Amino acid sequence: MFSNQWCNIKALPGANRLIKHLSGHRVPMALASSSPRENIETKISFHQGWKESFSVIIGGDEVRLGKPSPEIFLEVAERLNVNPCSCLVIEDSLPGVTAGKAAGMDVVAVPSIPKQAHLYTSADEVINSLLDLQPEKWGLPPFQDWIKDTLPLEPWHIGGPVVKGFGRGSKVLGIPTANLSTEGYGSLLSEHPSGVYFGWAGLSKRGVFKMVMSIGWNPYFNNTEKTIEPWLLHDFDEDFYGEELRLTIVGYIRPEANFSSLQSLIEKIHHDRKVAEEALDLPLFFKYKDEPYLKSST
């Protein structure tokens, strides 16, 4: 299994989880990147246990032709002493996908550029993020960490005043969202894949509530910018625009998706609500309701 995805000082969501999982099952892994070998070594040194997990590491300066040539992947297969057709490539770039397929390997694409999945037609599968990888599809050991249709995450936080959104939550969907401004959160939004998450929401004047939220472009409405749209799972008597909202995100439900009709979108959102509500009653997630972050005010 090879990938260009790993060569970032800050690990992509799901990368550490996947490496630990495959390493624990003794699945041979290799890293084949267009970056110089020295740069690769420097970057992966920031992640404990990564270097030891890869049986082979090859940089772009160790082959004659870079991607989209298949040379780097074929060289990895030779060093691993495996048939290329038994290998799975995980790639974020179009040249990498082309190289993997030219090497006769299966390729899963995780596009590095938002809203560009339609360009990766030569990949065997295109997924939104490494959180959505299903190893069993490729003959690899399945993950065992999903709980009640949710993936527990290392909690992360975001907050700010509630702002007006597109005006379609209550009016079009019948689902009132408490939108947050994305200003100042560019790096955080780029770190976390678009999708549906859940956790706890603290309103400075009202208390702490269960919450399910979407991050992304809402393909059905074709947003031009990435948004944060939490749905607080409580019936409020009034709007609370401008009130301080703090979120603790504790789990992931699914990737962002498009829908054939407004009704199917609404039904899916309500299903997400049911999944989130049931999961947040579990001790694993319920304990975060009492985080001081949710109850403090600016």
Average pLDDT, the chain: 89
| Domains 2-138 and 151-292 agree in fold | no
Instruction: Report the alpha-carbon distance of residue 121 to residue 123 in Å, rounded.
Output: 6
Question: H-helix or E-strand containing 199?
Answer: strand 195-203
User: Residue 228's closest CA among 151, 154, 163, 295?
Assistant: 163
Q: Is the predicted pLDDT of residue 59 greater than 80, yes or no?
A: yes
Segment holding 270, helix H or strand E? helix 262-279
Please pick, among 75, 229, 256, 291, the residue that the annotation labels catalytic.
229
pLDDT for the residue 104: 97
Which CATH number describes the domain made up of 2-138?
Answer: 3.40.50.1000
Is the confidence at residue 4, as pLDDT, over 70?
A: no
Domain boundaries, the chain: 2-138, 151-292
Q: What is the pLDDT averaged over residues 143-148?
A: 96
At 239, the pLDDT band (50, 70, 90 cuts) reads: confident
pLDDT at 177: 82
Q: Helix, strand, or coil here: 129?
A: coil
To the query of whether residue 229 is one of the catalytic residues in this protein, the response is yes
Does 2 score more than 60 pLDDT? no
Band of the pLDDT at 74, cuts 50, 70, 90?
very high
Among the ranges given (55-69, 223-237, 268-282), the one the predictor scored with the smallest mean pLDDT = 223-237
pLDDT at 89 over 80: yes
| The CATH number fitting domain 151-292, selected from 3.40.50.720, 2.40.30.30, 2.40.50.140, 3.30.230.70 | 2.40.30.30
Q: Which residues of 45-178 form beta strands (DSSP E)?
A: 56-58, 88-91, 106-109, 125-126, 151-163
Between residues 224 and 63, which one has the greater pLDDT? 63
